Structure 1
Amino acid sequence: MTMLALLLAVPFVFPVRVAAQAELFPSTEVTVRYDVVGWVKSLIAKARDNETPVAMDAELAAIEPAAGGGGGHGEPAAHGKSEGQKSFSGKDLTSAPELPTVTIGGKTVVTYAKSIEQDLKAAMPEDFKNSSDKDFLERRFNITPYAHSPARGDPNAPITVYQFTDLSCGQCMPELAKIDTALQDVSGSIYIRHIHAPMERFQDTNMPAFYGKIADRVGLFWEYRANLIHANPSTADAMFDLLVKTGVPIADARSMMLTEARRFYRQLDADALLARTFGVGRPPAVFVNGIRVGDGGIPLDKLPDVLKYVNTRLERGLPEPPK
């Protein structure tokens, strides 16, 4: 049979052989008629699909073993856990590198990271080193108060203190006095913001806090607060008399009580919501550069130690942890 006759016979031979299959699988006739090689490859692929995963894994393992497993190309099989990558000398390359010790003039030279670690350890107060309170030193809170919050000091000072207090809390006044005493030692490098934090969440009125807003409007909030801590009045008349004694004109005070009451109480409500956001429910609480002191944080009696710790970090140029 000549080559031409053979080529002419091919399109007619294959359809005859698969005629029965073509009735059930029409695509088979199309595949065979126009793509003989593809039809053969599909049969091979089906045969591969029927192989078990174990057999295929064994075939692949013979070509290239798993990482760290060994057992291929004449390597001994590894046992137990995976082994790390080693150098030609047998040293583990996956472990942390050991830096050489360098001495200059008889003194050991340490890395920058090691120096920071040593400085942080030296700056930490002794009472914190073996106490759970040291964890609060690295746990910082990022607080953004409202613009209406009374402020004192330089806004660019290296130390920022946020005080969450309730001026109507009579039993809190001794603690507020201790806070003010501790802050006076670093008054030159500190910026203080006062934020209203009510002891009672659903308190309808708060006359001391309200009068504090009036005093702040005429620039006498901190003087009024100091007088309030010292006198600790218990009646509304005594609180108003203290407001006038601080220097607020009676006419201005009465006028603001009529015209600014709604605004002042909205500001107090906003402060109360901010206090709840940071979980302040038992004021006073103080945040020193984000470090929580009081009400779930470091005890208030350790506030001087916290201020000293923060100031030491600043003096040594140590980086502050993220808030």
Structure 2
Amino acid sequence: MKSEFGPISDEWPCFSFTKKSVGQRLQTEFRPGRDIIVYVGTTNPETTENPDHRSRLISAVSIEPNQILDTSKIVPEHMWEWSVSTWGEKWQYSMAAIDAALMIGPPFPEARAVAPTAYTSFAEIQNRGNVVEALGEERALIMALAVERIALKLAEPVQRYMNLMRSALIPDKTVKQEAYRIAENILDRLRKGGEVSSRLNPVRAAPNLSDLIALITQKWQDDQKGKCALCGGSLVQTKSSMLQPSPDRIDSTNVNYDDKNLQITHLACNLAKNKWGISDFKDWLAIVQAGALASDQIGERR
């Protein structure tokens, strides 16, 4: 159970919290298919405006506990701006709602009547902003309540973000290792942006580490199907510097490492494209590939 201003809806289609420790606890303890999060309306009329929701069980949500997400990328922009302007930087962490339902009402089930022990434990200092667990008979009573399942409607950018994060949940071990290495390299370049070395390091921009790893994983596994975006050869974990997977900004004049401007290539392909340009690179690649094809054909005739 968690105290909330109102029921889950398209206006706030995720389970959010301020303390990252809440998410870390759920990552350890929450089991989809076994557990649910039940929203309980607050008692405060300034936060829970609908009197029918105050101190009542109002929503049931199943979450994806494996990832802690950025709330600002999930809720509608106007809602996030309102939340920050009204309450400050709170509820910045979220977990995706993979299934959601509304309790039947009004009248909605009274929290104190259904789960008195769990509900009163909200008053304990360690449980403020946290989740509390309903056990035994209280859990059974909650699980028996009538609900109406709802389908949350996510805006297209939110859906892309959710798909991106899901694609990084179970990556191939090699991809996971390489995605982390590439992300760290990108962030290192960002940290050095504007510094003076033998030349002035350009200023670049990229998402945070977890989002960047997810983006690299999606590019590698889903968008590029494990192939270099420039030559089409396989991306592999290797000791060869030339074949090492490398992040490439499609448009080098664009400083962003983002969904539209990032691709994964072999280091040699990346360096060649950046030094001589994409046109010369394609001409060179065509000659090399034609030569390889001719060699294969000669070998077959022999």
What is the TM-score normalised by the length of structure 1?
A: 0.20
The structure with the largest helix share of the pair is 1
Greater Cα radius of gyration, structure 1 or 2: 1
TM-score (norm 2): 0.21
Higher-RCO chain (CA-CA 8 Å, sequence separation at least 6): 1
Greater strand share, structure number: 2
